[in-house]
A and B are shown apart, each in its own frame.
Chain A
Amino acid sequence: MLKIQNLHVSIHGKEILKGVNLEVKRGEVHAIMGPNGTGKSTLASVIAGKEIFDVTEGSITYKDKNIFDLSIEDRAREGIFIGFQYPVEIPGVSITNFMRTALNEIRAYRGLEPLGAAQFLRLMEEKKKIVELQSKLSERSVNEGFSGGEKKKNEIFQMAVLEPELAILDETDSGLDIDALRVVANGVNQLRNPENAAIVITHYQRLLDYIIPDFVHILFDGKIVKSGPKELAMELEEKGYDWIKSEYEQSKLIGK
């Protein structure tokens, strides 16, 4: 469903991704791990369509379409969802209004009738339960005044409403206490099905106790340097990133 080939990305002339290869099939959950500053969030942003990045080489295809031919909104309408590490606060835009606009635009793209007000509100109530959101969303602006945990829950809530085919969660666990972590992970797990896929980007292994991945990839210095089954995450937690670092340095030396 998603195929990334030899992806090179730079920002302001500085190369951040240096040839990433990754293939995600329906029904799979991939975890991407790696130390800070190795390009994990850049990868998510490029898939989302953030314009400040220059793709200098390589390709990303999604459902056999060149993703760079799709506008930001069309990527979402085609079923890609990005859960951001730092969700933006949008004062004055109510969550209800936001989600209704988004959902109906996506539905229109797929040739579906817009949801009526009552139907939509029912859907909101149903999805709120998934992430244990209590507050009245119609009265709250998007992320405004939300705690870190609430912002992340709100991302998962949006995901639940929009029902993407491919969800990319960028450090969704960062800044969460153990309860919020469980809620977020449960939310993700409830949405898992054989037709969908997910990429979970995380710094720590602990999220992977709740969301069991099929594959673990380690991103380092702009490349995926190691891939393996879920046990790789455990090994990484045990040995730390220095292990990857020294292995990588060695391979580089050998390469020379």
Chain B
Amino acid sequence: MERFNQTIEELYREMIQIDSLQIPCRELRDQGMALFREKGIPHGKMEKWRHKAIDTLLVKPDQPFKPYLIQTEPSPYQPIDQVFKCEIKNIGTISYHLLNGWYIHQNKPLDIRDNGVIVGSINAAYQQFPELVSHYFNQLDPEKQDGLIALNQALFTDGIFIYVPDNVVVETPIQIVSLVDTLQKLMIQHHHLVIVGKNSQLSLVHCNDSVHEENSFINNILEINLEANAQLHYYKMENKDAQSILVNNTFVNQAADSRFTSNMITFNCGYVRNSLEVHLKEEGSDANLYGLYLVDRKQYIDNQVNVIHHVPHCTSNQIYKGIADDEAGANFSGHIYVAKDAQQTAAYQINRNIALTDEAKITTRPFLEIYADDVKCSHGATIGQLDENAMFYLRTRGICLRNARMLLMFAFANEIANLVLIEKLRERLNDMIKRRLSGELTICDQCMMNCADKENLIYDIDTTRLRS
């Protein structure tokens, strides 16, 4: 770990030297670095990391250490529509792209629409709208921050900024595609910010993909703020290669009567940790948190869900389902916290898992912490196998073992995909689930939205821009 920490110190020095960013990042970097020195990378003796340690993934004990790199400036612009053979358009979204840590654009770092909606680089947004951005940016409780959040603060490069003013319904979903395409061992720290104003509505599709086998470590922060009566549907898609490490820290703040729906879908990964923290801060707010993970080989997926009911009359509902094949692993930790005065809370949680082999390892950890006395809370967690009776029944109709398993697994996974409201995305997902379960959808299918072929690397990185 010493070598790793050394690398971080070096990268930090480099970042503050070349800082061209407009966010008052120096202060944030210093704070983050100080906190990182104190906390370090989380390790397996910490409760929240007990089931799977990340330190031994970042620095593999049995291999010589090769330092991570940061790409310190954006890649040159390439017309994404032409090189990115992606079906993104087919799901009817307007997409914005990040590549190797940077927002990709053609002399238009911010898309400012007529209705006041702003989408673009967080750095550019700060330059143009410093008050708006700084009001919401990095509003994290320092007490609760771990070493990875500190690391992001110390080394972050860019991120997406989305602002929907009051009383605007954004008709066309916005899609963020965060790509990693490099043969280098890259470390990427995004810090995204989403603000949905009063009575406004937005659907956001967020894809984390890698273009080819690489060793990247991606450590994101996403802050979401929903003002009164705002609605956000957040779809998170993850299809990463087996070497990558992806950590997402998502924080959601909800004002009165706002509604947040998330759907975290992980098809392939090396190691993915989705940490989702939702604060129901004003009455009438509602959070629906769904998740689906399909992992095999040696993949590992960790979903950490934290719902905090601060005030009365809020509702939350968690449904996470997953299938682990081969030697894959999955963890679900679902924490519901109901504060002392948060009466009339309704909070539910379900986690269902299927372990297909004896070697697949699944942990599920429901945790309810309730200090109010007039609440409705429930949780249910199961880890099981495919229903033998159903398998038999299907086979007596002439369906082979493999297809019988497929039908049952698809039925299991389909429940979550059917909660996706964007019709084309839902159809696409169901198709991908089928292909994933039949072993056809691998990282070779390129990104989540099934883009280019492996022969043509989409973005060739100019390695002279990489400093080690």
A-side interface residues toward B, CB under 8 Å? 48-50, 71-73, 75-77, 81-82, 84, 87-88, 90-93, 97-99, 101-103, 105-106, 109, 141, 158, 162
Q: A48-B392, A48-B396, A49-B395 are in contact. List 8 more A-B contacts (CB 8 A).
A: A72-B392, A73-B396, A82-B396, A90-B387, A90-B408, A98-B397, A103-B398, A105-B400
Residue B389 lies at the interface, judged by CB distance under 8 Å to chain A: yes
Contact B394 A98 (CB under 8 A): yes
Distance between B385 CB and nearest chain A CB, rounded to angstroms: 15
13 intermolecular pairs with C-beta atoms under 8 Å apart = A76-B397, A82-B396, A88-B392, A90-B394, A92-B410, A92-B414, A93-B411, A101-B399, A101-B403, A102-B394, A102-B397, A105-B398, A109-B398
Residues from chain A with Cβ under 8 Å of B400 in the complex: 73, 105
Instruction: Output the residue of B393, B400, B410 with the most chain A CB within 10 A.
Output: B393
Residues from chain B with Cβ under 8 Å of A141 in the complex: 411
From A72, A90, A92, A97, contact of B396 by CB (8 A): A72
What's the tally of chain B residues with a CB closer than 8 Å to chain A?
A: 21
Instruction: Give the CA-CA distance A252 to B394 in the complex, in Å.
Output: 42
The 6 closest A-B pairs by CB, nearest first: A92-B411, A76-B398, A102-B397, A72-B395, A88-B393, A106-B398
Contact A76 B407 (CB under 8 A): no
From A71, A92, A158, contact of B397 by CB (8 A): A158
From A76, A88, A90, A106, contact of B411 by CB (8 A): A90
Contact A88 B407 (CB under 8 A): no
Distance between B243 CB and nearest chain A CB, rounded to angstroms: 33
Instruction: Give the CA-CA distance A103 to B397 in the complex, in Å.
Output: 8
Residues from chain B with Cβ under 8 Å of A90 in the complex: 387, 390, 393-394, 407-408, 411
Residue B401 lies at the interface, judged by CB distance under 8 Å to chain A: yes
CB closest residue in chain B, given A83: B396
Distance between B412 CB and nearest chain A CB, rounded to angstroms: 6
Bitwise interface map of B from 434 to 446 toward A, beta carbon under 8 Å scored 1, else 0: 0000000000000
Instruction: Give the CA-CA distance A69 to B412 in the complex, in Å.
Output: 32
Contact B403 A93 (CB under 8 A): no
CB closest residue in chain B, given A77: B398
Tell me whether chain A's interface is mostly helix, strand or loop, or mixed.
helix
Contact A92 B393 (CB under 8 A): no
Bitwise interface map of B from 398 to 430 toward A, beta carbon under 8 Å scored 1, else 0: 111101000110111011000000000000000
Distance between B426 CB and nearest chain A CB, rounded to angstroms: 15
Instruction: Output the residue of B396, B399, B403 with the most chain A CB within 10 A.
Output: B396
Instruction: Give the CA-CA distance A49 to B392 in the complex, in Å.
Output: 9
Contact B399 A73 (CB under 8 A): yes
A90-B390, A92-B412, A92-B415 in contact; A98/B396 too (CB < 8 A)? no
Distance between A130 CB and nearest chain B CB, rounded to angstroms: 17
CB closest residue in chain B, given A90: B390
Tell me whether chain B's interface is mostly helix, strand or loop, or mixed.
helix
CB closest residue in chain A, given B418: A92
CB closest residue in chain B, given A74: B398
Contact B403 A105 (CB under 8 A): yes
Distance between A162 CB and nearest chain B CB, rounded to angstroms: 7
Instruction: Give the CA-CA distance A227 to B414 in the complex, in Å.
Output: 50
CB closest residue in chain A, given B400: A73
Distance between A190 CB and nearest chain B CB, rounded to angstroms: 20
Distance between A14 CB and nearest chain B CB, rounded to angstroms: 21
Residues from chain A with Cβ under 8 Å of B392 in the complex: 48, 50, 72, 88
Residues from chain B with Cβ under 8 Å of A97 in the complex: 407
| Contacts of B332-367 to chain A: CB distance below 8 A | none
From B393, B397, B412, contact of A162 by CB (8 A): B397
Residues from chain A with Cβ under 8 Å of B410 in the complex: 92-93
CB closest residue in chain A, given B393: A88
Instruction: Output the residue of A84, A87, A92, A162 with the most chain B CB within 10 A.
Output: A92
CB closest residue in chain B, given A92: B411
Residues from chain B with Cβ under 8 Å of A48 in the complex: 392, 396
Residues from chain A with Cβ under 8 Å of B412 in the complex: 92
Contact B411 A73 (CB under 8 A): no
Instruction: Give the CA-CA distance A162 to B397 in the complex, in Å.
Output: 8
Contact A73 B401 (CB under 8 A): yes
Contact B393 A84 (CB under 8 A): yes
Distance between B167 CB and nearest chain A CB, rounded to angstroms: 37
A76-B396, A105-B403 in contact; A88/B389 too (CB < 8 A)? yes
Instruction: Give the CA-CA distance A88 to B407 in the complex, in Å.
Output: 14
Distance between A65 CB and nearest chain B CB, rounded to angstroms: 16
Instruction: Give the CA-CA distance A87 to B393 in the complex, in Å.
Output: 8
Instruction: Give the CA-CA distance A50 to B391 in the complex, in Å.
Output: 11
Distance between B300 CB and nearest chain A CB, rounded to angstroms: 26
Contact B396 A91 (CB under 8 A): no
Instruction: Give the CA-CA distance A102 to B397 in the complex, in Å.
Output: 6
Bitwise interface map of B from 373 to 397 toward A, beta carbon under 8 Å scored 1, else 0: 0000000000000010110111111
Residues from chain B with Cβ under 8 Å of A88 in the complex: 387, 389-390, 392-393
Distance between A222 CB and nearest chain B CB, rounded to angstroms: 23
CB closest residue in chain A, given B403: A101
Distance between B323 CB and nearest chain A CB, rounded to angstroms: 13
CB closest residue in chain A, given B413: A92
Instruction: Give the CA-CA distance A109 to B400 in the complex, in Å.
Output: 11
A73-B400, A92-B412, A106-B398 in contact; A101/B393 too (CB < 8 A)? no
Residues from chain B with Cβ under 8 Å of A50 in the complex: 392
CB closest residue in chain B, given A102: B397
CB closest residue in chain B, given A50: B392
CB closest residue in chain A, given B407: A93
Residues from chain A with Cβ under 8 Å of B389 in the complex: 88
Instruction: Output the residue of A76, A97, A109 with the most chain B CB within 10 A.
Output: A76
CB closest residue in chain B, given A47: B396
Contact A102 B399 (CB under 8 A): yes
Instruction: Give the CA-CA distance A75 to B399 in the complex, in Å.
Output: 11
Residues from chain B with Cβ under 8 Å of A109 in the complex: 398
A90-B408, A92-B410, A93-B407 in contact; A102/B398 too (CB < 8 A)? yes
Residues from chain A with Cβ under 8 Å of B403 in the complex: 101, 105
